[in-house]
Structure formats: C-alpha cells, structure tokens
Structure 1
Amino acid sequence: MKNQLFLIIAIFTCINLYSQNTFVFFGSFNRDKTTEGIYVYKLDTVKGKLSKITSVKGILNPSFLTLSPNGRNLFVCTESKTKNAGSVSSFAFDPKDGKLTFINSQKSGGENPVYVTVHKNGKWLVNANYTEGSFSVYPLSEDGTIHPYVQNFQFSEGSINKDRQDRSHVHASVFSPNYDQVFFTDLGADKIRVYQFESDKSEPLQPAKQPYIKTTLGSGPRHFTFHPNGKFAYSIEEMGGFINAYRYEHSTLESIQRISTHTDQYKDFESSDIHISPDGRFLYASNRGEENNIAIFSIQEDGTLKNVGYQPTFGKQLRVFDIDESGKFLIVTNAATGNVFVFKRNPETGLLKKVGKKIKFPGASSVKIRRY
C-alpha cells in the first residue's frame, strides 16, 4: 500500500513537471509597425533550445517589456526612440496556446520610454522615460488595461558630460523588496532618485526622506537590482563601467563598494544590464562596445563582489538579458547583430556555457522568462 502511494505521488509529480511550460518573451526595435516587434518562444528546460510560438505586428519599437505578477499580462515600452512620441502598451497572454492579444496603450508622459515595472498587487504600473528625463505612474485594471497616468515627474538637471548628460535621462524604475519604495536611475544627472510608494493612495508616489543618492560624476547609472535577501542593492553605470554595491537598511542605501565591470584591455565600453541569480550567490553585468560580454561576480556575505570571469555574448550591443526563475538558464539579446543566445549556468561556479541554437530577428532588445 505504501509503495502504491509513493508511485501515485511520483506519477502526479511527473505530470505536473511536464505540464509546466517556460515561455520567453522578446522585445525589439522593429522600426516599422508592419514588421514583427514582439516574439514569444518556448524554452526547452533540458537542452536550452528555443522554439517560436508566435509574434506580434502593429506596434513600433517595443524595446523593453515585463510581465504582471500573475503572468497574464505583458507590459511593453512602445514607440521608443520615436521623435515626439512614446507609449506603454498592454497585452493579454494565454499560456495554453501562447497567444498575445493587444489590450490598449497610453502615452508614456515623456519621449523614449525605456523601462516599465509592475507593483506586486498588479494594480500599478511605473515607467521611465529616457530622453526627457521623467517617469509616470498608471493604475491598472484586473484584466491588464492601462489607465491614463495619475502622476508624472519631470527633471531637467544634467551632469558633467555635456554630450551624454545635457539633461536628466531616467533609465530604470525598480521597486524595493517590500514594494514600498521605487528607485529611479538617472543617467543624465548621476543620481538614483528615491520615492515612497503608497499603493492605497490615488497618487502613490511620494517624496522619500532620502530623495536621491549621488553617484560618481560622469558615471551614468543605468540599471538597478536588489539582492534576493533584500539587504543589498546594485547599480550598473553605463558610462563609468562600474557597479555600485549598497547596503539597504531602514529604506536607505549606503555605499559599500564600487567595482569595475570590464577588463583593463578595453577602453570603449558601455555597461548596460544587471541581474542576480535566484540563489543570491552570483551577479551578472553586461558590457557593450568593444567588449560585448557578461561579467560574472560572486557575492560575498557582506554584499561586496568578487569577479570570477567573463562570458562573450557572440553578438554586439547586448541591451538586456534575463535569468529564469530556476537559475538554470541566462538569455541575452544583442541588438546591433539582431541575435539571441541561451546560456546554461553552473550553479556552483556561476560560469556560463552556450547551449541551443542562435535565434535571429532584427533589433533584439529585451527578454523576459516565465514558467507557467
């Protein structure tokens, strides 16, 4: 009887495992609404192979995307790098057939939206607009409909590099681990801006006691992430080529380290994206320019970083990458060469190995992985 029970449990476990699908969503710079802009693939979680499920036309430059907490909606920055334009768009996603259905779009509140994120309660959307240095907050309906923004903050001050920092350029909007704050990296002003987020208010963004953190002049902070333990945070500099490590305590950031993302042999570089493995042991940072690789760091107990290697990305202009929730795979998007590669992670060393086959489509710019 006991053996039969174990057999039944094993069978149901196997059925559950094989019934799960891992989908990969890609955004791109398609430059033309008549061409494909968003792509949905299925990931073989044994071999790392990507298989195309569907794609979407009719939208322009869907350059960055994210998913709702329940995975039923895809939210996208649209009309990016489009003069006098900019929007955020919503799609419904059905994991049964992999179909994406357009819901609606709203103006982004500034030119060139580059980042979008969703509150854990699924009721709020926050975006970042690069060119005009602003960010907006939108209410969301349960079905994923985006309503007009209720708050829009504009900034004008720049920094010391007059070519790149003539004014504010907000590049990311990231919720704190408890979703009670939002951090905005401002590449143009060399600041990380901080706001309290009170989700029960009609205008949830409120000034924080620590309104911003200054970064090194001319460094250009780009993306930002928190450690899974909620005690540390990390910002990558696009122009400086460094990672800033912070201790996060009592809703404030305290700098604990600034470490280079690139090797000394390269002088032309643009660091871009940053992610931490789900187990919290390794941090990954991407370098563009001449280098085109991912820098790999082990995370020490005190939150500081130690470099353990570099992985070429086999393409140019890596804009965004993502790690699946199991921590087994890392997927990169090379915008200039229009290709995508899957890497398998070694959980002990943090090192990467290319698997599967190259996927090609023009302007590959963003990727999000989700298991259903």
Structure 2
Amino acid sequence: MKKLLFLLSMLPALLMAQPKPPSTFDLLIGTYTGNGSEGIYVYRFYTESGRLAYLNRTTSIENPSYLCVSKNGKFVYSVNEVGDDRKGSVTAFSFEPKVGTINPINKQVSGAGPCYISVDKDQKHVFTANYAGGSMYVFPVNKDGSLNPASQIIQDKPEGLGPNKSRQDKPHVHIAMLSPDEKHLIYTDLSTDKLNIYKYKSSQPQPLTPASPNFVKVASGDGPRHIDFSANRKYLYVITEMGGNIVAYNYNNGQPKQIQSITMLPDGYNKQVGGADIHVSPDGLFLYATNRGDANEIIVYAINQETGMLTFIERQTTRGSHPRNFVIDPSGTFLLVANQKSNNIVVFKINRTTGKLTFVRTNTEIDSPSCLKFTAAE
C-alpha cells in the first residue's frame, strides 16, 4: 500500500516531466521554378492558430517539385523535375530547424521527370519515382546526408499499357513509398495501372527484390497515382489520377487485397478529372483526397475502423486551382493545400470529431507550390 501511495504521489511530477508535443513546426514548400519561384521555401507553422511565418528559402534550385525530410529533421531531399529531353536529378540539403536554414550538399543524376522522393527511417536510402522516364531509382545515403550515385535502377517495361493512348503511352512511375514497417516498397505506374511491390532490405547493395506476387492492378485506364496507409497499418489506399477513384485494400506483409473502390466525383460529373493527393489523418479516423482537373476539390471520407471501408462525408473547394499536394499537421488540427496554378496555400481546420474542414486563411506568397512537408521546429 505504501508503495502504491508513493507512486500516486509522484504521478503529477512524472506527468510534468513528459516531453510536450511541439506546438510549432517548420513547413517546407517545394515548387516549380519557371513561374517566379526561387526553389524551396521554409515557413514556421503555429498549431494554435494555423498561422504561417516566412523563415527562409533556397535559390537557383530547378523545379524542387517534391521533397522529403529525414527522420532526425537534419536533412532534406528534393527532386529536380525536368522532362523527357534530359535527365532529372535529386539534391541533398542540410537543414537547421531552429532558424529554417537550408543549404545544398550535393546532387545526383536521376531518371527523366523525377516527381516523387522518399527516404527510409534509418537514412540508408533515398528513392525517386521518375514519371517521364518510367523508372525508380535507389540512392545510398552517407552519414553526412549526401547522396551516392544510384545503386539500383528499376525500369518499367512498356507492356500491358492502359487504354488511354494520350496518357498511357509509355511507363509513368508516380510514387515510390515504403510500407510503415519498411519491409516493402510500393511504386505506382500510371500507364500500366499497377501497384508494383518490392521487398526492402537496407543492408543489401541492391536493397529491392520483387515480392511474390510483385504487383496488383487497378481498373484499366484508372491510372494509380499516390498512396497512403491507415494508422493501424492494416489498410492501403490508392488515388487514381484518371479514374478519380479511391481504391482500398486489406494490407498484410506486402500483399494488398482490394476491398473497395469509391468515386471522388459527384453524381453526373462529366468534366476533367485529376486525382492528385491522398492522406489519412494522424488519428486514423478520416481520409482526405484532392481532385484537380475542373473540380479543384478536397473530398473527405470516414474510415471504418473494423473493415477499412470508406464512407463519403463532404467535398470542399480548395479555394484555388490545381490542388496538387496537401498535408495534415502532425497534431491533426490543420490541413494545408498547395494550389499550384493559383499560387496559393490554403489552411483549413479539421473537426476532430466529424472530419469536416473549415476554411481558416489563404497564404498567397508562393509561386507554383507543389509539395508541403512538416518537420518539428526545435
């Protein structure tokens, strides 16, 4: 009894000793640089209000259209997205969260049109998806954050292309993302309508080997684009760019099994479709997805926690044009949308009970924003 009373008496002190979750974050913004942007922008984000404050930016970095941040927050990696006529590249940066300074370390050649980049938790490898080149590159990472030349290149073959001849003319790899346990890597190919699955072992010189089976298909002509996993890691969700659908899968150790396909489109919609980005809320209760094209909307779904199935909640205008990318802050309180063609970033507040969004404010200082990434501000 005395021991129990002692532990109870210590409880307030123990609770006070627990580290508080950060209330401010650094928001890194990737852009296309042909319309006045200078590269990557860094803003401070305040979770009490949803306010953004400018900190820093890079210069002379061509089309850093997609970014990723190392787990320790000390390094940033960007693609340099250029088209079919020449090779793209990837750039490594050092990052200082306290003041938001970002400085280039080195650059390596990637495939044509790199459009997505990710890094593993142990910072052993960086992965790029090369849209124009139809390939996926693996770059070893050094201790100082710099990148070595690609150690593995996976080139998709022009076999089994979809029916849309203007969009599915050759392989177009769109995402290269590790599973939450980092045992597998999944990359999508918009043209072959496939989710390709590889086993990942970071200790190997060539860390990726085909899983068995090594792919699953979406509906012909749908064009899979981005993916995300549920918070409990049991479900995988895919947004299709041309079909405008969200496809849900049971996920078990690299083996997705489809359980649902639900449209993003309102009844009778017959305008241009452009499914773009998809994210699950940190609490795992809701899924959000953007549709570009003529809709310029973000759609909200509830996730059934027992089955992983989705139920439509609402659709909201993104208050801009071409919502290419969005991000949910780590506290799960705010959702920020990058509207590429209207040069604005829009802040919404999330109702944690219903999942619905309320418009908060618009920041219009960024030209051609295309990627938003949060990291803790120290």
TM-score range, shorter chain: over 0.9
Map 1:1-372; keep pairs closer than 5 Å.
17=20, 21-31=24-34, 35-81=37-83, 83-108=85-110, 110-157=111-158, 158-267=161-270, 268-300=272-304, 301-372=306-377
Letter in 2 for 1:122: Q
TM-fit CA distance, 1:361:
1.7
Please tell me whether the aligned partners of residues 236 and 249 of structure 2 are also in contact (alpha carbons under 8 angstroms). Answer: yes
TM-fit CA distance, 1:311:
1.5
Letter in 2 for 1:259: I
Q: Residues 166-186 of structure 1, C-alpha deviation per residue, up to 9 Å, x if partnerless?
A: 111000011112101100011
Aligned-partner SS, 2:34: coil
Structure 2 CA distance for aligned equivalents of residues 218 and 193 of structure 1: 16
Please tell me whether the aligned partners of residues 288 and 299 of structure 2 are also in contact (alpha carbons under 8 angstroms). Answer: yes
Letter in 2 for 1:345: I
- Quick one: structure 1 residues 23 and 82, their matched pair in 2 at CA, closer, same or farther if it must change by over 3 Å? farther
Aligned-partner SS, 1:360: coil
What residue ranges of structure 1 are gaps of 5+ in the alignment? Answer: none
- Quick one: structure 1 residues 81 and 362, their matched pair in 2 at CA, closer, same or farther if it must change by over 3 Å? farther
Q: Residues 233-281 of structure 1, C-alpha deviation per residue, up to 9 Å, x if partnerless?
A: 0000000000110001242010000000121243222111000001100
Aligned-partner SS, 1:234: strand
Q: How many residues of Structure 1 are paired with residues of Structure 2 in the alignment?
A: 366
What residue ranges of structure 2 are gaps of 5+ in the alignment? Answer: 1-6
- Quick one: structure 1 residues 348 and 99, their matched pair in 2 at CA, closer, same or farther if it must change by over 3 Å? same
The answer to which of 310-319 and 265-274 deviates more is 265-274
Query: Percentage identity across aligned positions?
Result: 38
Structure 1 CA distance for aligned equivalents of residues 173 and 349 of structure 2: 32
Please tell me whether the aligned partners of residues 97 and 376 of structure 2 are also in contact (alpha carbons under 8 angstroms). Answer: no
TM-fit CA distance, 1:90:
0.9
Structure 2 CA distance for aligned equivalents of residues 155 and 357 of structure 1: 40
Equivalent position of 2:3 in the other structure: none
Please tell me whether the aligned partners of residues 75 and 95 of structure 2 are also in contact (alpha carbons under 8 angstroms). Answer: yes
Structure 2 CA distance for aligned equivalents of residues 19 and 306 of structure 1: 32
TM-fit CA distance, 1:362:
1.4
TM-fit CA distance, 1:11:
7.8
- Quick one: structure 1 residues 200 and 337, their matched pair in 2 at CA, closer, same or farther if it must change by over 3 Å? same
Q: Residues 267-298 of structure 1, C-alpha deviation per residue, up to 9 Å, x if partnerless?
A: 22211100000110000010111110111000
TM-score (norm 2): 0.92
Structure 1 CA distance for aligned equivalents of residues 235 and 300 of structure 2: 17
- Quick one: structure 1 residues 290 and 357, their matched pair in 2 at CA, closer, same or farther if it must change by over 3 Å? closer
Please tell me whether the aligned partners of residues 30 and 64 of structure 2 are also in contact (alpha carbons under 8 angstroms). Answer: yes
- Quick one: structure 1 residues 327 and 199, their matched pair in 2 at CA, closer, same or farther if it must change by over 3 Å? same
- Quick one: structure 1 residues 64 and 82, their matched pair in 2 at CA, closer, same or farther if it must change by over 3 Å? farther
TM-fit CA distance, 1:10:
8.5
Aligned-partner SS, 2:325: strand
Please tell me whether the aligned partners of residues 281 and 299 of structure 1 are also in contact (alpha carbons under 8 angstroms). Answer: yes
Letter in 2 for 1:236: I
TM-fit CA distance, 1:5:
8.5
Letter in 1 for 2:284: G
